Amino acid sequence: MPAAMPSERPDLYVVARILEKLWRVGEPMVKTRLQIAANVNYDVFSKYLSWLISRKLVILVGSQGSHERVAITEKGRAAYRRLVEWIDEFVRGQRSYQ
């Protein structure tokens, strides 16, 4: 688990875990629940969340009186698919697409 994320060189496995959880759940998630699912401390999660938002891979949604939630964007879904394909091909040595 990284102690902190360099501004332009994130741990792609952390990025993948965050995007994967949002993709699998299929609806916006409360930040704390997503942070726990990503298995990083909240300070690290906050930096990754800012990084993901700045690249329009996720957005924050909320309503008055409720907790702010994180939702994956279409760009985030596409990035997650490409990241999984890359990991499968180059790290695991298998192709997950045709």
Please check the confidence at residue 98 and state whether its pLDDT lies above 70. Answer: no
Q: Which helix (H) or strand (E) holds 58?
A: strand 58-61
The CATH architecture annotation of domain 12-91 reads: Orthogonal Bundle (1.10)
Entry pTM:
0.82
Q: What is the C-alpha to C-alpha distance for residues 14 and 16, in angstroms, rounded to an integer? A: 5
- Tens of pLDDT, residues 36-72: 999 999 999 999 999 999 999 999 998 677 789 999 9
What are the φ/ψ torsions at residue 74 (nearest 5 degrees)? Answer: -60, -40
Residue 9 to residues 1, 51, 52, 89, Cα–Cα distance (Å): 14, 10, 12, 21
**CA quadruple 57, 8, 3, 71: dihedral, nearest 10:** -10
Please, are residues 19 and 57 in contact by the beta-carbon 8 Å criterion? Answer: yes
Nearest to 14 by CA among 26, 23, 5: 5
Domain layout of the chain by residue ranges: 12-91
